[in-house]
Amino acid sequence: MTPNSRFIILTWLLVNCINKSALAAKRLSYNGLAQTPQMGWDTYNAYALEYNETTITTNANALVQLGFRDLGYRVVIFDDAMTELNRSSDGSLVENASKFPSGLAQIADNLHRDGLQFGVYSSAGRFTCGGYPGSLGYEYTDATWWASLGADYLKYDNCYNEGLSGTPKLSQDRYAAMSNALNSTGRQITYSLCNWGDDKPWEWASTISNSARMSGDINDGFDMPTASCPCGPDEYYCQVPGHGCSVINILGKASHFVSKNQPGYWNDLDMLEVGNGGMDYDEYKLHFSMWAAIKSPLIMGNKLDQLSAQDFGILVNPAVLAISQDPAGSAIQRQLVRQVNDKDEYGFGELQVWSGELDNGDQVVAFLNIGNSSTTMEFSLVEVFGGIRTNKNAQKRWDLFDVWGNETVMSNEVATQILNGTLAAGDATGYYNATAMSWSQGLNQNNPLLFGTPVGTVQPGEMLSAEVPRHGIQMWRLREANMSSRKRDEV
């Protein structure tokens, strides 16, 4: 065998293995979609049912003009109240002409023209949560109607479900009916279950959908308990999921089954509240960072034309988004919780350490301070990587990149210029165009925006240490030190 033929065979084997890996990932997705967590914008948290065509147009334009679309925030979800209160005589849904005078099909065409996606909504019940016609028993009728309008995404709720819940099999059958209906249309439609964690969807939903909610509805609050969200953060399965659940409540529940994610299916922690005003800057940073690292879909629920510069800077952080859209789809895991006496007004006083692996062997480490005041958090690599001394990651030398470092976060001055239209997002320092170059390509080419700010190196056996603000987060990307040196040499 000649050297040239040997090279050809080895190249073929390598390409074939890569192609098989890509095909295997797509096979894990029941419909081939959502290979990374969905990103977009939803009407409900900011507008409830009081939205219309102008609302959609305003926020869709902002997705494009402010650079959100080219970061991957593409789906625009019409969350309830899309139709009239009654079906037509033939059983079809009837679009709400007073709210959408141009017609839903024309609005969908406009979204598609601008590189966005059209997201629709219904419930696996007799009615939607807003009292409009639900799709239980009308799955094929409604799926055909949405497909005819050009829908790309369905958020499917759990209200008025006629008592068809209480066991995983009952819920799986009810939601599978719509899954089959969507597939029958011949149109690619991402399918997002919004069943509030009812009947443990993390055990069955990956075979019929692209994501499923794992808790009750989110509230724009950090850790305040509410009577409407009856189960605490350590009760991972709640038979009455409720609503008004805080960020910390949802994180606590999610910590129990982060391994259920895979390319094509994601545990959904509910929408992002960044920009709605109920939390401070550090709390929103923690919220956004952990949703990204756990691989929840990143669906904004705010008024995009009213964002502050700080909130805009959070939502466009390229180093955090690169973690969210990492090809491996592996969720960060909680490694330890340490109680402290410095409790906040709601009785929370604990420090948490989370870590997880990324596609290229890099690691994500997050220190969470859920206490009442700023504190120095210090943990060994052994503790960071699960408390096992023989863990190979605890024995390595790591370069540290702060994903919220000064060289990574867009400045308020630049963000303000983008928001007021005096600077195009694509021309701004600190902005990354993931449409022009994907997240994985950018990482392979060592784009510094996707790593974070270099802040030093930690040796095997040493401690990771950071001053973490009240209700705040310190998150790093760790890259093996000899790998970082080799990559710098290649560049």
Cα 202 versus chain centre, distance: 16
pLDDT tens track for 19-72: 444 444 556 789 999 999 999 999 999 999 999 999 999 999 999 999 999 999
Residue 469, CA distances (Å) to 46, 125, 206, 373 in order: 28, 44, 37, 7
Contacts with 27 (C-beta within 8 Å, 6 or more apart), sequence order: none
Report d(CA 404, CA 310) in Å as an integer.
12
Residue 459 pLDDT > 60, yes or no?
A: yes
What value does the mean pLDDT take over residues 465-482?
A: 96
Q: Residue 14 has what pLDDT? A: 41
Torsion of CA 293, 295, 297, 300, to 10 degrees: 0
pLDDT tens track for 130-140: 999 999 999 99
Q: Residue 491 has what pLDDT? A: 34
Catalytic machinery residues? 157, 217
For 15-65, give the secondary structure using H, E and C. HHHHHHHHHHHHHHCCCCCCCCCCEEEECHHHHCCCCCHHHHHHHHHHHHH
pLDDT tens track for 241-263: 899 999 999 999 999 988 889 99
